[in-house]
Structure 1
Amino acid sequence: MEKQIEIAYSFGEQAHVSMFRGKFAVVKVLDTLRSNMKKVDIPNTISILAFEVANTIVKGYNLMQSLLEENIQIFSKEILHSEGVQLLVSTDIKELLRIASADKREEFEVFLKEVVRFGYRCRDPQWHALNHYFSRLRLEPIKRKHLQKEVEIAMQELTNLAQYTYELFHELHALERFEHLYSCKIEEVESQNLPRKGKGLMILQSELKNQRKLVSNLKKKSLWSKNLEEVMYKLVDVATFIHCAIVDSFEENVERKKANEKTERLGIHGLALHYANLITQMDIIASRSICVLPNMRDKLYNDLPASVKAELRYRLRDLDSKEVMTMPQIKAEMEKVLHWLIPIAIDTVKAHQCFGCVGEWAKTGNEFRKKTSTGNNIIRLQTLYHADKQKMDRYILDLAIYLHRLINLVKNQDKIPEYSPA
């Protein structure tokens, strides 16, 4: 497959390299792609690829929404200065901006690779040179205001198509169930030598017919029946706009040279979700301290990082038995941390649940068509991905000690004999 892509790229490069050269290449290339499209008549419907294309459209939509001016303002004024980001990631705003810029660029590169891959699926070889075009775009960026209105219209058209594709995805599954039920009913009727005119079978046959008609209509309305080249030039417009928006919003005031990263970040080591689950377990145990089951407590302890376990054993030996904290005091101390840590853990889990291909947009449903805000368009800085592991371990350790005190307090209360009147 990779060899075929290399051959296709080579052919496209030789046939159309002049399209990408010259002083005004970057600005004019989109118009060239569109005008050349009109000259060729190569039927190339998207078909089964529709679900992957819809997934890519949702990624592009979410990226565009995250780069809206109002969301950039929320990011700058709220997220960067939020308690969780300041305590777990960094207090250096320039460092946080660098991290956010790198994240947004990485997110864009994932989207871009998919657009380029779809280009190779086109029969017209001009689309096989998109890698070259986007490489030039990095060197000669254009202002997004020149593209904004046209791209907004293109994205609206794409999201409409993606919505119908989402519906098709689910109706195809429903059709499969109907066909299975109908097949089983036929076998049942034939095994009993009954005629195929029974009421139950006729109803099922009618439902199956209606479902096939619904699927057929959705195929016509969705990406399934669209020409891939027609969708491609819209995706290229979107990708160009997003690139320019990232430069305008993040990279103009961010140092491009990455400093030596010595901090151990949870996400880089694949630990973000594990720590999010730890925090959730702690919150559950704290809220149910009166009836904590032994298996819940044991599971939490087993899930603790090795370094935290070792430190916990050491700290528990040094606890002052005379130091008395009431249950409300313990819970109040835990709440000081959990009130800002729990939302981060929840966002971390949500971010991981959205990971995937078709599932990413299929689970989203109608949500991606709504105006996205930073509340449901989660960025990495809102999760545990960039959390400093050493800092996070200290919070986990403190919470574990408070939980130990809480559980012991409940046990000691249980040992006090109940008062019984004489």
Structure 2
Amino acid sequence: MRNFNYRGFMTGMASRQDKISILAFEIANTITKAANLLQSLSEENVEYLNKELLPSKGVQQLVSTNMKDLLTIVAHDKREDFAVFCREVIRFGDMCKDPQWHNLGRYFSKLDMDTVTHKQLRAEAEMTMQELITLAQHTSELYHEIHALDKFEKDYQRKIEALIFLKLSLEGEHVLMLESELKHQRKTVRNLKKKSLWFKRLEEVVEKLVDIATFIHQEISEAYGYDVGLTSSPRRKSETLGEAGLALRYANLITRIDAIALYPTSPSDNMRDALYNVLPPNVKTSLRSRLQAVTKEELTLSQIKADLGITLQWLVPIATNTKRAIQGFGWANTGNDLGKKSCGQKKIIRLQTLHHADKEKMDELIVELVTWLHRMISLRRSNKAFPPKTSKVHSSEEDKNLLEKVMQRGKLVPGISKSQEFGMSKKHVQRLSRSTGTSPHTQFKA
């Protein structure tokens, strides 16, 4: 560990402390961020990014087709995550009694300028990271057990007060059992405090976090280059959903569209109105003109379902990732999974969500999808009002088979569109741009 004991780090007015105590939960959160960031920089994840994620249809269609621009976006995201982590380490350093850990920002600012002096060995960094992960896991357990202890104590107190009010004995078997459970829970909490970050010295943990920060910076530089998007934001031609704060809203909108696409019959007026009401104003304007267009192309119900399904198949997982990333579960619920290599599962990064999706491209895609829904609903109602003599049995049997395929799937795979079977059931899929047009019965407001 390098020596920070020189004049530049001798100032700082934060509240000083020795043992971590209640800060344990905040530090465990910081360790989780570091572990996730390091995992995303592993050789396996970088290979997955370059070979599968960047060339994927969602990224290419909603973000950019330029691989250099995409790499710049990823590098910038990593740098932002790293900056958040460093700010937290700086804050903990300022809380240390030992002044050598004060104002760590000056040290971190020199990492870009001197990469040789601050070189960290991988084996040492991985061993340090694993040690911190173990402490964070025990701290996660402590978090839950403290809440359980609080519940035990409140229940015990209520029951004792009830016995006193009723003038009953406090020495019964039931009371003794409650006291025994409470004693056992207190012992569990004490033991976990010893195994977790709670009784650790703050300086000791901050030193390890600084080493990890140095190693993460090194990994980002080696993975994406020392001058690829690390110091400035990538230039974008138009606004993204993340910049506009609309990523979650569009994710929910996609989920609604997927639900209506799966609906076995024509959706109710309430379902259609609910979808229309949540459409962005500019999408509503484009939709009105789109629905007024005239099409010469006649498509069957199964063709329309196929077109919807093939798009929703790649779009719905992105919407699901967006919800998970924004509404996430927090470190306390995932702490025990830290450091475990799950089978094929990788941490979600921003490119797997709607965060970087081009707003103009997304709006156009929503218009296309809602137009398909309009045509599907119109065709269903038209067939219901004027059932064809020759194809009535065939059409109902076809819908029945499609529905049976959906119902037989059992449990859904998280993030997979419910309507993707429609795209898989047809070899020839119509292009989405052919969806312009209307039908005799307009189902969405124009």
Q: Normalising to structure 2: TM-score of the pair?
A: 0.80
**Is residue 377 of structure 2 the alignment partner of residue 407 of structure 1?**
yes
Match for 1:368 among 324, 332, 338? 338
Alignment of 1:15-414 (within 5 A): 16-17=6-7, 44-142=18-116, 146-252=120-226, 254=228, 260-290=235-265, 292-320=267-295, 323-354=297-328, 360-371=330-341, 375-414=345-384
- Are the equivalent residues in 2 in contact too, given 1:142–1:244 (CA < 8 A)? no
How far the C-alpha of 1:335 sits from its partner, in A, is: 1.5
Q: Does the residue aligned with 2:111 lie in a helix, a strand or coil?
A: helix
- Are the equivalent residues in 1 in contact too, given 2:32–2:335 (CA < 8 A)? no
2:411 maps to what in 1? Answer: none
Q: Does the residue aligned with 2:299 lie in a helix, a strand or coil?
A: coil
How far the C-alpha of 1:292 sits from its partner, in A, is: 2.3
* Structure of greater relative contact order (alpha carbons < 8 Å, 6+ residues apart): 1
- Are the equivalent residues in 1 in contact too, given 2:119–2:214 (CA < 8 A)? no
Q: Does the residue aligned with 2:330 lie in a helix, a strand or coil?
A: helix
Deviations 1:283-311 (A, max 9, x none): 11101141623332222111111111011
Q: Does the residue aligned with 1:390 lie in a helix, a strand or coil?
A: helix
Q: Does the residue aligned with 1:304 lie in a helix, a strand or coil?
A: coil
1:130–1:191 Cα change, 3 Å: same
Across the two proteins, how many residue pairs are aligned to each other?
Answer: 381
1:405–1:107 Cα change, 3 Å: same
Deviations 1:308-354 (A, max 9, x none): 1011112112244x754322111101122111111111111111123
Question: Which range moves more in the overlay, 198-207 or 252-261?
Answer: 252-261
Question: Which range moves more in the overlay, 158-167 or 243-252?
Answer: 243-252
> Quick one: which amino acid aligns to residue 391 of structure 1?
K
- Are the equivalent residues in 2 in contact too, given 1:166–1:362 (CA < 8 A)? yes
1:144–1:411 Cα change, 3 Å: farther
Q: Does the residue aligned with 1:403 lie in a helix, a strand or coil?
A: helix
> Quick one: which amino acid aligns to residue 344 of structure 1?
I
Distance between the aligned counterparts of 1:179 and 1:119, measured in 2?
35
1:395–1:329 Cα change, 3 Å: same
- Are the equivalent residues in 2 in contact too, given 1:189–1:195 (CA < 8 A)? yes
1:259–1:186 Cα change, 3 Å: closer
Distance between the aligned counterparts of 2:370 and 2:340, measured in 1?
40
> Quick one: which amino acid aligns to residue 210 of structure 1?
H
| Alignment gaps of 5+ in structure 2 | 11-15, 390-446
Deviations 1:339-390 (A, max 9, x none): 1111111111111123xxxx62112142223126884311111111111111
Deviations 1:182-210 (A, max 9, x none): 01100110011001022222221111111
Q: Does the residue aligned with 2:6 lie in a helix, a strand or coil?
A: helix
Q: Does the residue aligned with 1:363 lie in a helix, a strand or coil?
A: helix
> Quick one: which amino acid aligns to residue 314 of structure 1?
S
Distance between the aligned counterparts of 1:194 and 1:297, measured in 2?
62
Percentage of pairs with the same residue? 51
| Alignment gaps of 5+ in structure 1 | 1-12, 21-41
Deviations 1:191-238 (A, max 9, x none): 110010222222211111111110111111101111111111110110
1:272–1:374 Cα change, 3 Å: farther
Q: Normalising to structure 1: TM-score of the pair?
A: 0.85
Distance between the aligned counterparts of 2:53 and 2:59, measured in 1?
7
How far the C-alpha of 1:399 sits from its partner, in A, is: 0.5
1:71–1:188 Cα change, 3 Å: same
1:144–1:134 Cα change, 3 Å: closer
Q: Does the residue aligned with 1:225 lie in a helix, a strand or coil?
A: coil
1:19–1:417 Cα change, 3 Å: closer
How far the C-alpha of 1:264 sits from its partner, in A, is: 1.2
- Specify which structure has the higher proportion of helix: 1
Q: Does the residue aligned with 1:386 lie in a helix, a strand or coil?
A: coil
1:235–1:259 Cα change, 3 Å: closer
1:24 maps to what in 2? Answer: none
Question: Which range moves more in the overlay, 168-177 or 400-409?
Answer: 400-409
How far the C-alpha of 1:18 sits from its partner, in A, is: 6.7
How far the C-alpha of 1:260 sits from its partner, in A, is: 4.2
Q: Does the residue aligned with 1:171 lie in a helix, a strand or coil?
A: helix
- Are the equivalent residues in 2 in contact too, given 1:289–1:410 (CA < 8 A)? no
